[in-house]
Every structure is written in C-alpha cells, then in structure tokens.
C-alpha cells in the first residue's frame, strides 16, 4: 500500500472517533503519532483503508493523579512523559523507559497508546506498566469504558483484547512509593535508536518485588518466582542476588531472531536482573 493511498480522517472529538471505528470496524484503524504505522504501511503489513487520527483529541491528553490512581492519556507522547513533574514523582520507572525510546523525533510523535496498540513484546513502556500493575482503559460508543489489567490486555505479538470499535483512552496505576527502589534497563544492538533485545523493569520495597521482562516472550512477562524470592528474602548479599537472578533463566521464553539468539536473551535476562539488583541494593 502506498502512503498516499491511506485515507486519514481527523475527528474533532472522542465520540466522533469512536463512531468512525464502530461504523467501519476492521476497515478502520486508529492513527496516533504514526511512528509505527508509517513503517508498517510502507512494508505492506498494515493495510487498513481508513485511518482515524486521534493524536490531538483532548480526551486522550490527560496526565493526572486522583483517588489513588495516576492516569496517563493514550495520546500522551514520550516527550511529555519524560518531562512531566507528575511522572517524575509518581512513575519514574515509566519516565525512564520513555527516555530510552527511539530519538528525540520519535519521542515527540510516538505515544503511550501507540506502544500498547502495536503490542510488540519489545515495546519499551510495557515492562514498566507490567511492574506498575497498570490497567488499560478501552472505550467504545456502545459499551462505554472498561479497564483491563495490562497483563490481560496482550494476547501475543501484535494481538490484544481491544475490539475494532474500541480506542485505548488511557492507562492508570497506583503511584510508586516514595523511596521505593527501582531500575529500568534496556539492552539493544546499539546504544541509541535500538529496539530492545531484552529489557527489564524492576521495583523493590521491603516485602514487595516486581520484575517484568520485555522481548523475552510472546508478550512482556513477569518473573514471578524471582518476585517471590525477592519479597521473602530478609537480607541480600551477593550470593543471594546471584541465585535469584539466575532463576530468571527458566522464567523467560525467548525466541531467536535477527537481533539475538534465544540462549543469549536468556543469559542477558539473568545478567540485567543481577546488575539491576546489585545497583538498587548496593551489593
Ligand atoms: C526510528 C524508530 C525508533 C523506534 N524506537 C522505539 C524504541 O526505542 N522503543 C519502542 O518501544 N518503540 C520504538 N519505536 C516504535 C514506536 O515509536 C512506538 O511503538 C510508539 O509508541 C508508537 O506510537 P505512535 O503514537 O506512533 O503509534 P501509531 O504508529 O500511530 O500506531 C501504532 C498502533 O497502535 C494503534 N493505536 C495507536 N493509538 C491507539 C489508541 N489510542 N487506541 C487504540 N489503538 C491505537 C494504531 O492503530 C496502530 O496499530 C520506534 C519506531 C521508529 C520508527
């Protein structure tokens, strides 16, 4: 498909955008920053005849904290995320991942909703959202709004529970605790502008641990055995940290592809976890 063959409509409100999706179902697709869409359309992978531009919809721009939730609208760009004082205070893990996405240009255009919509296991905001146990807001004209735990949102590479008549409106999560230890790490083939070969979002508080890996399975995944051992450990020395990090070997399920072999990814998952733990625990 040529880019010039794409029909792009620009509704002025969420209601109008949802009407386009409801009326055209599988023939229509949301378009946000277009950083994934332009590439996939050019390569002939995405062939929707109608694209519903949602990037400027005011209803998808929110970033606020109320009633125990931090809520980030689907059309919020990486640039806004990483410059936000609210994010720095309540979700520094997510802000750190946003800082590692692409280039300044991609950060200016790419959106949180687009990262979720593409549903790549290497999407960089997704491990932090798993570690934050975020929920994804989906809205349709007929069904109103529903909130889905981020772990249930993804079905596999490029596949989610979003129906064709639904838009992702926002994500919401409880804020990170003040003083919580956390670490975001991304390993790519280059230092910048690289798709993750392995990524890790780590959160640690006394009796609480969240470990989420990207690019080592069909979707982002939580290393629950590592989390359980980290939550139960009473003291951390180097031997304990190493043995818990090694458990990640069996928790991930990577494939080999152009970027790395499955075995290398497994090794790197353990290495990133060990490095992250040593840094946050100073062991
Ligand atoms: C040079 C380059 C470098 C990149 N580097 C990285 C990187 O380091 N890390 C990374 O994670 N990604 C990277 N990407 C991928 C891309 O930038 C991100 O996935 C980005 O978040 C996509 O957002 P977007 O707004 O551009 O989405 P779009 O391209 O507009 O849309 C992507 C998909 O999501 C759907 N979608 C968008 N918004 C919604 C919504 N509100 N509701 C429902 N569906 C929606 C669209 O229909 C489409 O299927 C890179 C891309 C390029 C071109």
CATH number of the domain enclosing 66: 3.30.465.10
Residue nearest to atom 38 of ligand 1 (CA): 114
Residues 185 and 242 placed together within one structural domain of the fold: yes
Per-residue pLDDT reduced to its tens digit, 202-231:
999 999 999 999 999 999 999 999 999 999
Residues 37 and 116 placed together within one structural domain of the fold: no
Ligand 1 mean position, distance from CA 123 (Å): 9
Range of the domain at 86: 58-173
Residue at which a domain ends, from 150, 173, 196: 173
Q: Which of 6, 33, 99, 110 to mutate to test the pocket of ligand 1 (most atoms within 8 A of CB)?
A: 110
Per-residue pLDDT reduced to its tens digit, 112-131:
999 999 999 999 999 999 99
> How far is 37 from 35, CA to CA, in rounded Å?
6
CATH number of the domain enclosing 215: 3.30.390.50
* Total domains, the chain: 3
CATH number of the domain enclosing 24: 3.30.43.10
Residues 165 and 131 placed together within one structural domain of the fold: yes
* Residue 51 reports pLDDT greater than 80: yes
Mean pLDDT across 52-75: 98
**Cβ–ligand 1 contact at 113 (below 6 Å):** yes
Q: Which of 26, 30, 159 to mutate to test the pocket of ligand 1 (most atoms within 8 A of CB)?
A: 30
**Cβ–ligand 1 contact at 114 (below 6 Å):** yes
Question: Residue 168's beta-bridge partner residues?
Answer: 138
- Please report which helix (H) or strand (E) contains residue 135, including its range: strand 135-140
Residue at which a domain ends, from 124, 143, 173: 173
Residues 80 and 116 placed together within one structural domain of the fold: yes
Closest by Cα among 203, 194, 200, 225 to 215: 200
The per-residue pLDDT for 190 is 78
Mean pLDDT across 56-75: 98
3-state class (DSSP) for residue 198: strand
């Amino acid at each position: 498909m040529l880019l010039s063959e794409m029909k792009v409509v620009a509704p002025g409100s969420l209601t109008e955008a949802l009407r386009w999706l409801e009326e055209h179902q599988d023939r229509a697709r949301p378009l946000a920053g277009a950083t994934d869409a332009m590439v996939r359309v050019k390569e002939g992978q995405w062939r929707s005849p109608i694209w519903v531009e949602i990037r400027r919809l005011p209803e998808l721009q929110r970033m606020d904290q109320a009633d125990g939730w931090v809520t980030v609208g689907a059309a919020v760009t990486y640039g806004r995320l990483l410059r936000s004082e609210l994010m720095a205070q309540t979700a520094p893990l997510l802000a750190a991942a946003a800082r590692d996405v692409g280039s300044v240009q991609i950060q200016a255009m790419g959106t949180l909703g687009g990262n979720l919509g593409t549903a790549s296991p290497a999407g960089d905001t997704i491990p932090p959202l798993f570690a934050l146990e975020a929920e994804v807001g989906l809205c349709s004209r007929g069904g109103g709004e529903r909130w889905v735990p981020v772990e249930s949102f993804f079905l596999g590479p490029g596949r989610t529970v979003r129906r064709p008549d639904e838009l992702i409106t926002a994500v919401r999560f409880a804020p990170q605790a003040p003083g919580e230890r956390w670490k975001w790490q991304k390993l790519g083939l280059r230092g910048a502008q690289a798709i993750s070969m392995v990524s890790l979002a780590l959160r640690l508080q006394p009796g609480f641990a969240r470990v989420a890996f990207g690019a080592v399975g069909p979707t982002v995944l939580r290393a629950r055995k590592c989390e359980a051992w980290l939550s139960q450990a009473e003291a951390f020395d180097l031997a304990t940290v190493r043995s818990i990090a090694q458990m990640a070997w069996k928790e991930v399920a990577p494939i080999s592809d152009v970027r790395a072999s499955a075995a290398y990814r497994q090794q790197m998952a353990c290495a990133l976890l060990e490095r992250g733990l040593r840094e946050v625990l100073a062991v």
